[in-house]
Structure 1
Amino acid sequence: MTFIRAYLRASTKEQDAGRARGDLEEFCRDRGLTIAATYEENESGASLHRPELFRLLRDSKPGDILLTEQVDRLSRLSDKDWDQLKREIKAREVKVVALDLPTSHMMLKTEDAFTGRMFDAINGMLLDMLAAIARKDYDDRRRRQAQGMAKAKAEGRMKGRPEDAERNEAIIDMLRKGQSWNTIVRATNCSRSTLAKLAKRLEGTEAAAG
């Protein structure tokens, strides 16, 4: 019997790791499926220190489904760490299904062996691509933040506590996805003044990129 195991992750303790629970439940409900277990944690996607993710894998039997909202919830890892995580997933014979990877949804259906192997190969390539994009996005943001902090320090504008780069990265990601300010404030416990600064920073970054 195949079990669907939901994995929910947020980067910092100020964020709500369970915010996507409803989306995952609706996804399964629309397909007549049920989530058997949920694993939730607040850990960086750039680190392999993911106790709940590895507990999920230990609990899994061959053929079980690891269901997540987005591939970047699973990995913003370096190539070396991503390869290590993939080996663990493959060794457990767990299938990864992500809401933002439509081809992976086919893994929920019973297919013949040939079709199953074909989708395994396709999803493996797409997972690698999306994981690489997620890591590049993470590295680019960290670099821009470091450049901004260095510039502010050089201009004498750096005062008070250093910014929470991990949290601010997550907030900018939520802004980019179009989430409301009220939702972001509730999920991250940040002030509206901080949110306004990050929204302005995002506008500047997108304007420069455009």
Structure 2
Amino acid sequence: MDKQGANMTTNTRIYLRASTDQQNASRAEASLLEFANLHKLNVVHTFIENESGASLERPELFKLIAASKQGDILLCESTDRLTRLSNEAWDTLKQSINEKGIRLVMLDLPTSHINLSNAGDDVTTAIMKAINSMIIDIMAAMARKDYMQRRERAAQGMAKARAEGKLTGRKVNTVTNDKVIKLLKAGTHSWSEIVDLCGVSRAQVAKLAKVVKAEA
């Protein structure tokens, strides 16, 4: 539950994310709290989740946005903790953030620290905020590029291993797997229904569900 500071008019909410359950999403929490304390920020809540940064299916992030008011701060470690989204999806997320008037502050992006101040929009401040917005967009694009390169390298590694006979076992039915993944992402069917529709085992559905969730 949010804690309202008696002498504060602006609240700060921390966002922490990791891609898989095997990763520690809370890793940067101490550093963010130290930063908040240094700048006398009123941290009212910390939102933590293990979800892919390449997906908009992030319940905790959207809870944070919904709880925020005009001028509140979203504090996170780095741009890639907030987004590895495609350009279109990033624009959608930015719109949600901007419509609430939320100020983005990234621990590792000094230009974003201008958003710690809610000072009037004089010319210099307006210019600096515009520059910061462009830098965040660039960092978001770089985070997406890194995500795509990782996926490409992983696919190349698998292909090489198969070619060298290092991967054995049953031949993967990629068409069926793609259908299962599509249904899992749609969220319109239960696992039991997917088993019946696709003719796969529940274990295979569980395995592919982990793949969907673990994208990073």
Task: Kindly indicate whether residue 70 of structure 2 is the aligned counterpart of residue 62 of structure 1.
Answer: yes
Task: Kindly indicate whether residue 82 of structure 2 is the aligned counterpart of residue 74 of structure 1.
Answer: yes
Query: 1:15 Cα shift?
Result: 1.0
Cross-structure match for 1:101: 109
Unaligned runs of 5+ in 2: 1-8, 171-206
Secondary structure in structure 2 of the residue aligned to 1:19: coil
Compared with structure 1, are the counterparts of its residues 23 and 106 closer, same or farther at alpha carbon in structure 2 (3 Å cutoff)? same
- Matched to 2:39, the amino acid is R
- Matched to 2:67, the amino acid is D
Query: 1:119 Cα shift?
Result: 3.0
Secondary structure in structure 2 of the residue aligned to 1:88: helix
Correspondence for 2:129 among 120, 123, 129:
120
Q: Deviations over 1:74-100 (max 9, x none)?
A: 000001100100111111110100011
Query: 1:30 Cα shift?
Result: 1.5
Instruction: Report which stretch shifted further, 42-51 or 26-35.
Output: 26-35
Cross-structure match for 2:191: none
Is this contact kept in 2: 1:145–1:165, CA < 8 A? no
Is this contact kept in 1: 2:16–2:25, CA < 8 A? yes
Task: Kindly indicate whether residue 131 of structure 2 is the aligned counterpart of residue 141 of structure 1.
Answer: no
Cross-structure match for 1:151: 160
Task: Kindly indicate whether residue 150 of structure 2 is the aligned counterpart of residue 129 of structure 1.
Answer: no
Compared with structure 1, are the counterparts of its residues 167 and 151 closer, same or farther at alpha carbon in structure 2 (3 Å cutoff)? farther
Identical columns (%) = 53
Q: Deviations over 1:140-181 (max 9, x none)?
A: 11101100100101111014799x8899987xxxxxxxxxxx
Query: 1:111 Cα shift?
Result: 2.4
Q: Distance in 2 between matches of 1:116 and 1:3?
A: 21
Unaligned runs of 5+ in 1: 171-210
Task: Kindly indicate whether residue 58 of structure 2 is the aligned counterpart of residue 50 of structure 1.
Answer: yes
Higher helix share goes to which structure?
A: 1
- Number of residue pairs the alignment of both structures matches: 169
Is this contact kept in 2: 1:12–1:166, CA < 8 A? no
Cross-structure match for 2:17: 9
Compared with structure 1, are the counterparts of its residues 54 and 168 closer, same or farther at alpha carbon in structure 2 (3 Å cutoff)? closer
Query: 1:57 Cα shift?
Result: 0.4
Give 1 or 2 for the bigger CA radius of gyration.
Answer: 2
What is the TM-score normalised by the length of structure 1? 0.74
Is this contact kept in 2: 1:107–1:119, CA < 8 A? no
Query: 1:120 Cα shift?
Result: 2.5
Backbone CA RMSD of aligned residues: 2.3
Q: Distance in 1 between matches of 2:96 and 2:60?
A: 14
Is this contact kept in 2: 1:67–1:97, CA < 8 A? yes
Q: Distance in 1 between matches of 2:129 and 2:212?
A: 33
Cross-structure match for 2:97: 89
Query: 1:112 Cα shift?
Result: 2.5
- Matched to 1:16, the amino acid is N
Is this contact kept in 2: 1:141–1:169, CA < 8 A? no
Compared with structure 1, are the counterparts of its residues 18 and 116 closer, same or farther at alpha carbon in structure 2 (3 Å cutoff)? same
What is the TM-score normalised by the length of structure 2? 0.72
Q: Distance in 2 between matches of 1:138 and 1:102?
A: 23
Compared with structure 1, are the counterparts of its residues 66 and 109 closer, same or farther at alpha carbon in structure 2 (3 Å cutoff)? same
